[in-house]
Amino acid sequence: MKNNKFLLAAGLIAGSVLTCLPVTGFALETLTFSGGICDVADPAKVAQVFAHHSGAINTSATSSVVVTCSLTRDFTSDTNGANIVVKAFRDATATVPLSCTMVSRDFNGNTLASNTNQTNGVGVVALSLNVATSGINGFYTVACTLPQKSVLRGITLNE
């Protein structure tokens, strides 16, 4: 019985020490969003994009389209920024790069920081973007130019 009490006390002490250790450098949370959450930026091109659970698909064989995506944050009190990975498919017939811009915004929608990346890769591609600042009660937006017959599959947010 004494050994059990000792082990219980040792476990509680060890657990409390472990929970006090800083976790700097680790993401508090990873969230994944379907490309289906994205909207067409130009209302005249709404018919050009088919958005559903498997992503935002540019159905045009001749022109690119810009889609915008709002990313919901679970931890809106930190100001340390975040990084995202945009997962997409770029068709071999594409004539322009697939490019995305991540923007960190404050509660009122003002821009705090932004980052842009692009690729001319064909097939499955991933674009990494990060911003060093985020606002209390703020949010992130992502705008991507989808070349013809290309798809924005999803976005992974690490904050």
Q: Is residue 6 part of a domain?
A: no
Is the residue at 10 inside a domain?
no
The answer on pLDDT for 112 being more than 90 is yes
**Residue 54, number of CB atoms within 10 A of its CB:** 13
Give domain status of residue 17, yes or no.
Answer: no
Q: How far is CA 116 from CA 9, 113, 128, 137, in A?
A: 52, 11, 9, 23
Instruction: Report if residue 52 sits inside a domain.
Output: yes
**Entry pTM:** 0.80
pLDDT digits (tens, 9 = 90+) for 74-97: 878 889 999 999 999 999 999 999
How long a stretch of residues is the chain? 159
Number of domains in the chain: 1
Question: What sections of the chain are H helices per DSSP?
Answer: 2-20
The CATH number that applies at residue 50 is 2.60.120.260
Domain carrying residue 48 = 27-158
